[in-house]
Structure 1
Amino acid sequence: MSRLSYKIFGALLLTVLLSVGLTSFAANQLTASQFRQYIIRGNTEFITSVESALGTYYAQYQGWDNVNGVLIQLLGSNGGRLVLSDASGLIVADTQNKWIGYQTDEYSLSNGTLISISGTDAGYLYWIGSQGSGSGSGYGKGMQSGQNNSGNAAAGIISESQQQLLDEMNRSIWLSGGLAGLAALGLGLLLASQIIRPLKALSRSARRIAGGELSQRVKVDSRDELGELAESFNHMAQSLETNEQSRQRLLADIAHELRTPLTVIEGTVDGILDGVFEADAQHLTTIKEESATLTRLIKDLRDISLAESGKLKLEMTQLDIADIIRRQAKQASILAKDKSIALLSDIPANLSTVTGDATRLNQITANLLSNALRHTPAGGQISLSLKNMLYRDKPGIMVSVTDNGEGIPPADLPHIFDRFYRVNTSRARSEGGSGLGLAIVKEMAEAHGGYVWAESLLGKGSTFNYWLPASHT
């Protein structure tokens, strides 16, 4: 067993021993007390009836002649021994016929029950337990006939058979308690094993995941806390596996993105060194452009990494987002004109101000416009709009960039802001897309406390939105 098994077993054993032991002890004491109370009530009634019968006998016969037979009949099946003396202490009756004719002092009999008839002392009654001997004490303190003798010592006499019955009852209680304890212990061990088993499964799966088996999962057999723990473990494992797959794809994408410009640079330089290409402006420009691509890629990766880790430094100031949008629209209009694309702007007055980093907000808008220009065909249209909008009950400004390009398939839409994700890989690379622009938009917007989302109809175009909270005035 594991150490946790020992702890559970020890706690369970201690609990069972304490509960069963205390319960059995309490039951034993209660049974003994109730049994003794029952015996006392019976003995009290017996003493009262014997006393009354002897009083009647004495009143009828004016003495104790031939009373011994009556005394034996009165004892009946009751345990112990009855001894009767007259008022002077002379024993006149003995159910064992041993002490008749002797004085009570000779056998140390004392505190007998006084039998009084019309104020005259007629004698004393002694009830001696079955364990008593000739020197045993008598019982009862001078009680008048018919007097309540519940406190009389004679009432506490327990016969040998009664004591045996009480002992048997006590043994039965302890035996029942022991059997109940064993049953509880067995059931507890069964329940403990059901707790330990899923924990062991979790431990084995955790070691396998630590060893690189990220596909490892545990079976969920219940809906209790252990089941919730197993589900949480499976979610964690799924997240680790997904992140590992994303990491591997990211490394592959980064390697590919770096390899493409490096291959062009290396090939051009080799051609110049081998005399295949001349070291003219055309080939040097190619090297410069690919170097710029590498620089941009490394810068974008650095920005994303800083944003994701929360270490991106933002120069937050209160600003008018409309000025940024107008500036970016003016710069994009040159490229749009070259591609015969109409760029329309809808910037209303009285817009709320936002608090943000002007450089990063310019970067967000520029990336969205660049993305729209790449995916809008010649003769198409791009719309740039702003408006005040409540988002999740918070006031802010929504910026929308809409194009009427090829649109995004529904299966690709949830991943459009992932790093290096491209709907059309070959086309994006041929047009200069690195697959990081939209990922940067998402990270930068969220770093400002905002949100981004995309809407698209395949074949009709797409709309990219980002929302920023309004400044507190």
Structure 2
Amino acid sequence: MKIHNKLFLILFSFSFLLITSLVLLMQWSIGQGMIDYVNAKEVKALQPLVSQFAQRYQRDSSWRSFEGDERQFFRLVIQQLVDSQFVPDIPPRKREPHRQRLERSMALDRPVPPEHRLPPGHAADYALLDSHKKVIVGHYKSDLKYTDIPIELNDKVIGYLAVSKRKGLVDGYELDFLEQQTSYLWLIGLIALSCTLLITFLLARNLVGPVKQIAKGMHQLSQGNFEHQLKLKRHDEIGQLSEDYNTLALTLAHNEQVRKRWLANTSHELRTPIAILMGELEAMQLGVRPLSVENIRSANDEAHHLKRLIEDLHLLNSAELGGMHFTMQPLSIAELLLTVKQKYTTIFKNNAIELNITEFSEEITISADNTRLMQLFGNILMNAVHYAQCSKLQIAVTKVTSISQNYVVINIEDNGIGVEDEHLAHLFEYLYRVDDARNRQQGGSGLGLSLCQHIVHAHQGEIAAMRAPLGGLGIMIKLPMEY
């Protein structure tokens, strides 16, 4: 079953059960309230009879005149109820003759005619109880619940008139009212169910429709179509999910381009030195070129270039797989830069490059791997020596303080030929070259800056390339400081 149908079925079933339960509960509540109302109304109708019983007790000083005399007791009850709805078989126009015949029968002490007694289906039973709630006369059944109306004389309870509570309605306008309200309740419930059906359908479609689009987009991604974009104008979690999907698609497309360029560049970089090496060896083997020390040295240079390329590829692969190990320990930036200056002073002097390091008085300490940072600075500085054609190098250190973390920013700048803006964002990609022919001739593998990026990221830092104020290339390294 599709998710749309499941969601619709779940929402509608829940709404159906809820509305049906509410209708049944309201129907029971109204019915129970109406029964309680009828019982209270009957009790109120019998209040005058309670006064008569009190007067009879005052006259006789006891209940002995009622003991065993059910005929007299029920005649008084019928007489009191004859004008009410509780004797429903007597039409209003016949109630007055009925009352007269009843009074005559009582005066002559005759039995009440059958047609003047309580109807066989009458819903209530009546009994007269003494002050200890013992039955004097009437019907008092143990399986029924009774309302005991106290009979008082001189503020003292002398007995009770017990009226059984009805469990349902069999006649009267109350029953008609209850049936009418029941019909209205079911009609309202039917209308509510119809509205719920419509709302549930629209809600299920509104929720599942975007999910279907996202599922379709994911299928496109699985087929390698990274150009597919979702256009969902929503501001909820589904909208956020669609934005994440679009970001994922762009990232996969970018990674696919990088992967293709990586494969192309790798095959090209490996093919070039191998082709040169094989060509030189074949030329010497065929006697086209003499087997001299100079020709062997040329072939050996190509072999060394191929070896460096393979070693750099292995190192990058180790970094990607987490095989490049780092030993973090407190490291002074001042001592690190002093070591760098001492190590590369001779190289800079031979290439007529002036190195300036901005002095800073404050001691700055970071948690870093000294060997890897030396490798980082070595790659950047040697790139400047080999490719920048510069005469001046400058290293500046700045401390940046924020609420969450303190950073040290190291800017390395030169005054060389620089790099065009469109190349800056790609300098740290594998085997990316700004000038392929020149770089290859000078022996670079195109992997040095990629290694620099891995080293900086392993230190939880950032690295970026930019135009330097000196006119050449600038490398910004941002590393977190120890507190």
TM-score when normalising by structure 2: 0.72
Deviation at 1:47, TM superposition (A): 5.6
Deviation at 1:165, TM superposition (A): 3.4
Deviation at 1:232, TM superposition (A): 1.6
Among 212, 221, 224, which residue is 2:224 paired with? Answer: 212
Structure-2 separation of matches of 1:255 and 1:107: 105
Cα deviation 1:80-129 (Å, max 9, x = unaligned): 1466352675367x8xx9549xxx99999997799xxxxxxxxxxxxxxx
* Partners of 1:352 and 1:396 within 8 A in 2: no
Taking a change above 3 Å as real, the CA distance of residues 451 and 197 of structure 1, as seen in their structure-2 partners, is closer
Cα deviation 1:155-174 (Å, max 9, x = unaligned): 99956352233223213312
* Partners of 1:113 and 1:142 within 8 A in 2: no
Among 407, 410, 424, which residue is 1:413 paired with? Answer: 424
Of stretches 394-403 and 300-309 in structure 1, the one that deviates more from structure 2 is 394-403
Alignment match, 2:56: none
Cα deviation 1:195-239 (Å, max 9, x = unaligned): 222222222222221122222233313211222222222222222
Structure-2 separation of matches of 1:255 and 1:110: 104
Give secondary structure in 2 for the equivalent of 1:415.
coil
Structure-1 separation of matches of 2:123 and 2:34: 28
Alignment match, 1:294: 306
Residue type at the aligned position of 1:389: K
Structure-1 separation of matches of 2:381 and 2:415: 13
Residue type at the aligned position of 1:34: G
Residue type at the aligned position of 1:22: S
Structure-2 separation of matches of 1:327 and 1:106: 118
Q: What are the within-5 Å matches in structure 2 for residues 198-347 of structure 1?
A: 198-316=210-328, 325-326=337-338, 328-330=340-342, 332-345=344-357
Q: What are the within-5 Å matches in structure 2 for residues 87-236 of structure 1?
A: 90=110, 98-99=115-116, 152-153=163-164, 160-162=171-173, 163-236=175-248
* Partners of 2:419 and 2:473 within 8 A in 1: yes
Q: What are the within-5 Å matches in structure 2 for residues 389-428 of structure 1?
A: 389-390=399-400, 399-428=410-439
* Partners of 1:40 and 1:156 within 8 A in 2: no
Is 1:86 aligned with 2:106? yes
Residue type at the aligned position of 2:7: I
Of stretches 387-396 and 226-235 in structure 1, the one that deviates more from structure 2 is 387-396
Taking a change above 3 Å as real, the CA distance of residues 265 and 407 of structure 1, as seen in their structure-2 partners, is same
Alignment match, 1:8: 7
Taking a change above 3 Å as real, the CA distance of residues 326 and 77 of structure 1, as seen in their structure-2 partners, is closer
Q: Give identity over the alignment, percent.
A: 25
Taking a change above 3 Å as real, the CA distance of residues 348 and 45 of structure 1, as seen in their structure-2 partners, is closer
Residue type at the aligned position of 1:463: G
Give secondary structure in 2 for the equivalent of 1:299.
helix
Of stretches 282-291 and 35-44 in structure 1, the one that deviates more from structure 2 is 35-44
Alignment match, 1:444: 455
Unaligned segments of structure 1, at least 5 residues: 54-70, 115-138
Residue type at the aligned position of 2:16: L
* Partners of 2:151 and 2:161 within 8 A in 1: no
**What count of residue pairs does the alignment treat as equivalent?**
430
TM-score when normalising by structure 1: 0.73
* Partners of 1:341 and 1:376 within 8 A in 2: no
Of stretches 416-425 and 248-257 in structure 1, the one that deviates more from structure 2 is 416-425
* Partners of 2:357 and 2:394 within 8 A in 1: yes
Give secondary structure in 2 for the equivalent of 1:207.
helix
Deviation at 1:338, TM superposition (A): 4.3
Of stretches 303-312 and 235-244 in structure 1, the one that deviates more from structure 2 is 303-312
Structure-2 separation of matches of 1:388 and 1:246: 33
Aligned-residue RMSD, C-alpha: 4.6
* Partners of 2:331 and 2:366 within 8 A in 1: yes
Deviation at 1:250, TM superposition (A): 0.9
Structure-1 separation of matches of 2:170 and 2:365: 102
Taking a change above 3 Å as real, the CA distance of residues 395 and 41 of structure 1, as seen in their structure-2 partners, is closer
Structure-2 separation of matches of 1:402 and 1:377: 13
Taking a change above 3 Å as real, the CA distance of residues 90 and 426 of structure 1, as seen in their structure-2 partners, is farther
* Partners of 2:355 and 2:394 within 8 A in 1: yes
* Partners of 1:316 and 1:355 within 8 A in 2: yes
Residue type at the aligned position of 2:477: Y
Give secondary structure in 2 for the equivalent of 1:452.
strand
Cα deviation 1:302-358 (Å, max 9, x = unaligned): 222222332212355666665664555455444444443333455668855655444
* Partners of 1:382 and 1:404 within 8 A in 2: yes
Structure-1 separation of matches of 2:377 and 2:366: 15
Taking a change above 3 Å as real, the CA distance of residues 90 and 242 of structure 1, as seen in their structure-2 partners, is farther
Alignment match, 1:123: none
Residue type at the aligned position of 1:166: L
Deviation at 1:251, TM superposition (A): 0.8
Taking a change above 3 Å as real, the CA distance of residues 318 and 183 of structure 1, as seen in their structure-2 partners, is closer
Residue type at the aligned position of 1:90: R
Cα deviation 1:50-100 (Å, max 9, x = unaligned): 9999xxxxxxxxxxxxxxxxx89x8488861466352675367x8xx9549
Taking a change above 3 Å as real, the CA distance of residues 277 and 140 of structure 1, as seen in their structure-2 partners, is closer
* Partners of 2:124 and 2:165 within 8 A in 1: no
Taking a change above 3 Å as real, the CA distance of residues 156 and 51 of structure 1, as seen in their structure-2 partners, is farther
Residue type at the aligned position of 1:383: Q
Of stretches 244-253 and 27-36 in structure 1, the one that deviates more from structure 2 is 27-36
